[in-house]
Amino acid sequence: MAQARSALLEVRGQQGAALKWVQLLLLLAAAPGWSQLSEDRAGRQWPVPYKRFSFRPEPDPYCQAKYTFCPTGSSIPTLKGDDVIEVFRLQAPVWEFKYGDLLSHMKIMHDAVGFRSTLTGKNYTMEWYELFQLGNCTFPHLRPEMNAPFWCNQGAACFFEGIDDIHWKENGTLVLVATISGNMFNQMAKWVKEDNETGIYYETWTVQSSPEKVAETWFESYDCSKFVLRTYQKLAELGAEFKKIETNYTRIFLYSGEPMYLGNETSVFGPAGNKTLALAIKRFYYPFKPYLSTKEFLLSLLQIFDAVIIHREFYLFYNFEYWFLPMKFPFIKITYEEIPLPNRNRTLSGL
C-alpha cells in the first residue's frame, strides 16, 4: 500500500514538474538563503564559483535582440559628496510593458534599484538584464554551419535618468530602503563599472540537490536580482543602513544529484572531442530552439519531458563549460522567497 501511494505521488509530481516546464517554456518563448562553499571528495568547490573576465567582448552580429538593450542608457553621474541620496527597491513583473501583471501571478519578477538626489531632485534607475532576452541566455542556437552550440548570452548593467513610477508601482514595488551620501553613491558607481566589465554572462538556473533548506547548492544563478543584492551589499560595506522591511526575489531552481563535469567547447566539440557526447548535448538542446510553430512547440514539450523527467537528464552550460545534471524529483521549481536586506558592513558570499 505504501509503495502504491509512493508511486502515485511520484506520478503526480512528474505531472506537476511537466506543468512547470510548460510555464517556463512559455516564459522563454514570450521573451521579447545563501549557501557556504563546500568541496566534494575530489576537491571540487560547490557551488561552482561564477567566472569573471578581464573585459567584456563585443557581441557577435548573429545575436540580435528583439528589444533593444538599454535604449535610453547613460553613464552614471558623479554627484556632490554632501548630497543625500534616497535608495529605492524596484520590482515589477517580467515583461510588464507587454503582458501587464500576467507573470506576477507566477511570481516571476524583475528587480532594479532606484536613486533620488535631494540636491537636484533628479531620479535614476539602475538594473542588470540580458542583452538578447532570456531565451538566448538560457539555451543555445544550433547553427547548421557550426559543430558546437552557439550561445548569445550576455547580461549587463543599464543606468538611465528617471524612474517610471507607474511601471514599478502598478503591479510591483517602489519603496525606500536606505539613504546614502553622494560620496557613497560615487564609490558605488566605480564598483558597478568593475562589476559590469567582469561579470558578463547571465545564468538563469540555481541548481541544488533538493528543495530542503540544508541542500547542497551546485550552481548559483546570476541575474537581475543577484545584481540588486550585490549592489545592496556594496552599499552596506560602504556604511549604508537599510530599513527593516521584507524583500522577496524570484528564483528558478533545478534539482539534481552531483553534477558531472564534461568539458569546454573545444574538448567536447573539437576535432579530438567526444562525438557521442557532442551529439547527445545537441539532441538535448534541439527542442529548446526558438521560433517554433504550435505543432513544433507541443512536440518539443514531449521531448523535453522525456529527457528531463523520464530519463532525468539535463545539460548545463556554466562558465563556458558543459556539465551533466542527473535530475531529481521535483526537477524544477519557481520560488518567490525572502532574502533579507544586508546589515551594515556584513559580507555575504555567493553574490
CB within 8 Å of 124: residues ≥ 6 apart: 76, 77, 114, 115, 116, 117, 159, 160, 161, 162, 163
118 touches 236 (CB < 8 A): no
Q: Is 141 a catalytic residue?
A: no
Q: Report the interhelical angle of 294-304 vs 2-29 (nearest 10°).
A: 140
Provide the 10 A C-beta neighbour count for residue 295. Answer: 8
> Taking Cα atoms as reference points, which of 129, 120, 125 lies closest to residue 88?
125
Distance linking the first and last C-alpha atoms of the chain? 46
Helix (H, G, I), strand (E, B) or coil at 344: coil
Task: List phi, psi (to 5°) of 270.
Answer: -75, 180
Of 70, 110, 137, 141, which residue is the catalytic one?
Answer: 110
Q: Is 70 a catalytic residue?
A: no
345 touches 239 (CB < 8 A): yes
Of 137, 152, 158, 224, which residue is the catalytic one?
Answer: 224
Our CA angle for 127, 206, 199, nearest 5°, is 45
Listing DSSP states for 33-95 in one string gives -----EE-TT--EESPPPP--SSPPPPPTT---SS-SSTT--PPPPPPTT-EEEEEEEEEETT
Three cell numbers at 318? 556554466
Three cell numbers at 129? 538584464
Three cell numbers at 240? 549604508
Q: How far is CA 16 from the centre of its chain?
A: 22
Three cell numbers at 158? 543599464
Q: So which residues are the catalytic ones?
A: 110, 224
